[in-house]
Amino acid sequence: MTALPRPGKIIALHLNYPSRVAQRGRRPAFPSFFLKPPSSVSASGDTIERPHGTELLAYEGEIALIIGRTVRRVSPEEGWAAVEAVTAANDWGVYDLRAVDKGSNLRNKGGDGFTPLGPTVIPARDLDPDGLRVRTWVNGELTQDDTTADLLFPFGVLVADLSQLITLEPGDVVLTGTPAGSSVAVPGDVVEVEVDVPGGLTTGRLVTRVVEGTVPFADFGAGPTVNDLQRAEAWGSAEAAGLEPVLTDELRGLLNGVAVATLSSELRKRGYPHSSIDGVHPLKPGTRMIGTARTLRFVAHRPDLFTSHGGGYNAQKRAFDSLKPGEVLVIEARGDATAGTVGDVLALRAQTLGAAGVITDGAVRDSAAVVDIGLPVFAQGAHPSVLGRRHVPWEVDATVTCGGATVQPGDILAGDDDGVVVIPPHLLDEVARAASEQEAQDAWVAARVAEGHPVDGLFPPDAEWLARYRSSTRPDL
């Protein structure tokens, strides 16, 4: 059987492979889809144009299902039976074009040639849908390699779920998600995708060559826009994108040497007087914490919402399961400390993943056990009740308000016995260095007070005392 004619519709899935879920740090409870236009289809050997003025054209090797008969409201078993064949696909996208329609993905993933299919298909009859493999090569180097053995949403479930509302017709294509390893391709690259039964049938390699576009975007539509977050997502990680981490070892060392009170003062000087997460204190006195924010939001308890969002693999579990080394989970609990928001099991999970801490403007259950685990935890206090009494776990990695302070994923958190402050990433270098210098000056002033000098004119130092400080630390001045 040869490559397909143009399908009537193309429906693509966001996340399906556990390897990609781990990379993205979020695990969906249900399949979520988007549409790609039929005009995006191309064939093996065709070129794809990286639009002029963009930098983040990313490939996603996938298995495409080809629907063989009209289906509506079918079961998962009937859903797989409706698949006539599978083939290789590449779900290309331009991260620079996500800003205005990220939900629909139309500009990002709908461009001409952005859905190569082929080169041949494998009949679904007698295929085991759990026994397929998808691989991707860039310039001959293997970058994606995974199987369908443990998908979140098996192929039959995808077809059945779509058929609840949409009539699928012969020739329609369902793209089934990409595994970890998706990254950026640049002009001159050759990207190949193959779907096979290991040791058996194969689609052959679907070949796409990347070329540079020459026609700029007009000024009457949204043009390309890109930032380091988009770069990290497109390349697969900040390291792969060649980005320096915001919280470098040097800056972490500076932060560890200064008090949170000093950081708060420096932030206030720069127009951030509300940077403290009020009302939270370390469960264990003497705790220091430095890390990068991830966020979890609870909403107030409502029985129907707790039924739909409180059980299973809910937002709370997803948040703790996806923490990475050096991250701090910041929990918005609306300042309600009459029910627990984290207990010993989840704290242990965070610690084993290398998280830097947890902050909640609610309460902690199993507080003694949490302290024994050794994970830095800042909270309003302790409470024996589970979250179902007052809270519903709602969403992960959104902007939250914790203890009166706005926190976004990627912000820097610093905590000690005085509490916690939030440092916007663009201010981190400046604030850390200024706070370190201020700490040195404060230590010198304290030494002069210990010698018996009065504080008037010394704290804070007037011009005379400031000159003496500078001459003591920089005798060359």
Same domain, 158 and 200: yes
Last residue of a domain, one of 235, 262, 294: 235
Same domain, 418 and 438: no
Longest CA–CA span in the chain (Å) reads 93
Chain Cα centroid distance, residue 137: 25
In a domain, 254, yes or no: no
What CATH number is given to the structural domain containing 391? 3.50.30.40
Same domain, 329 and 459: no
Is residue 171 exposed (0-12), middle (13-18) or buried (19+ Cβ within 10 Å)?
A: middle
In a domain, 393, yes or no: yes
Same domain, 145 and 210: yes
Give the pLDDT confidence of 395-404 residue by residue, as tens digits: 998 899 999 9
Phi and psi based region of residue 354 (left: phi greater than 0; alpha: psi -120 to 50; beta: remaining): left
* Rounded distance between C-alpha atoms, residue 93 and residue 105, angstroms: 8
In a domain, 308, yes or no: yes
pLDDT > 90: percent of the chain: 80
Residue 169 has pLDDT above 70, yes or no: yes
pLDDT for 475: 52
Same domain, 340 and 448: no
Q: Tell how strand 405-407 and strand 400-402 pair up.
A: antiparallel
* Rounded distance between C-alpha atoms, residue 410 and residue 394, angstroms: 19
Give the pLDDT confidence of 292-334 residue by residue, as tens digits: 999 999 999 999 999 999 988 899 998 999 899 999 999 999 9
Give the pLDDT confidence of 243-252 residue by residue, as tens digits: 877 888 999 9
Is residue 84 exposed (0-12), middle (13-18) or buried (19+ Cβ within 10 Å)?
A: middle
- Mean pLDDT, rounded, of the chain: 93
What CATH number is given to the structural domain containing 152? 3.90.850.10
Give the pLDDT confidence of 18-60 residue by residue, as tens digits: 999 887 767 888 999 999 999 999 999 999 999 999 999 999 9
Same domain, 399 and 448: no
Per-residue pLDDT, averaged over 371-378, amounts to: 97
Same domain, 438 and 416: no
In a domain, 31, yes or no: yes
| Residue 236 banded pLDDT, cuts 50, 70, 90 | confident
If we measure between CA atoms, which residue out of 9, 417, 356, 362 comes closest to residue 173?
9
Same domain, 395 and 434: no
- The residues with which 199 forms a beta bridge, in sequence order, are none
Helix (H, G, I), strand (E, B), or coil: what is residue 363? strand
pLDDT for 100: 85
Same domain, 70 and 135: yes
Last residue of a domain, one of 205, 235, 265: 235
pLDDT for 477: 45
Q: Following DSSP, what letter does each residue of 262-318 receive, concatenated?
A: HHHHHHHHTT-TT-EETT-EESSTT--EEEEEEEEEEEE--HHHHHHHTSSS-HHHH
If we measure between CA atoms, which residue out of 8, 76, 33, 78 comes closest to residue 176?
33
Work out how many domains the chain is built from and give that number: 3
Residue 355 has pLDDT above 80, yes or no: yes
Q: Residues 78, 238: contact at Cβ < 8 Å?
A: no
Per-residue pLDDT, averaged over 126-151, amounts to: 96
Give the pLDDT confidence of 196-223 residue by residue, as tens digits: 999 999 999 999 999 999 999 999 988 9
H helix runs in 42-141, sequence order: 76-81, 106-109
pLDDT for 88: 98
Q: Residues 12, 173: contact at Cβ < 8 Å?
A: no
Last residue of a domain, one of 388, 406, 423: 423
What is the torsional sign of CA 286, 254, 404, 373? negative
* Rounded distance between C-alpha atoms, residue 110 and residue 217, angstroms: 16
Helix (H, G, I), strand (E, B), or coil: what is residue 428? helix
In a domain, 244, yes or no: no
Residue 457 has pLDDT above 60, yes or no: yes
Per-residue pLDDT, averaged over 342-367, amounts to: 96
Establish how many alpha carbons lie within 13 A of residue 30's alpha carbon, considering only the half-sphere containing its beta carbon: 7
Residue 433 has pLDDT above 50, yes or no: yes
**Which DSSP state fits 164?**
T
Per-residue pLDDT, averaged over 378-384, amounts to: 96
- What's the domain range around 449? 430-473
Per-residue pLDDT, averaged over 278-298, amounts to: 96
* Rounded distance between C-alpha atoms, residue 108 and residue 12, angstroms: 13
Residue 2 has pLDDT above 70, yes or no: no
In a domain, 60, yes or no: yes
Same domain, 404 and 453: no
In a domain, 253, yes or no: no
* Rounded distance between C-alpha atoms, residue 215 and residue 112, angstroms: 14
In a domain, 122, yes or no: yes
Same domain, 173 and 34: yes
Give the pLDDT confidence of 66-112 residue by residue, as tens digits: 999 999 999 999 999 999 999 999 999 999 999 888 778 999 999 99
Same domain, 418 and 291: yes
Residue 1 has pLDDT above 80, yes or no: no
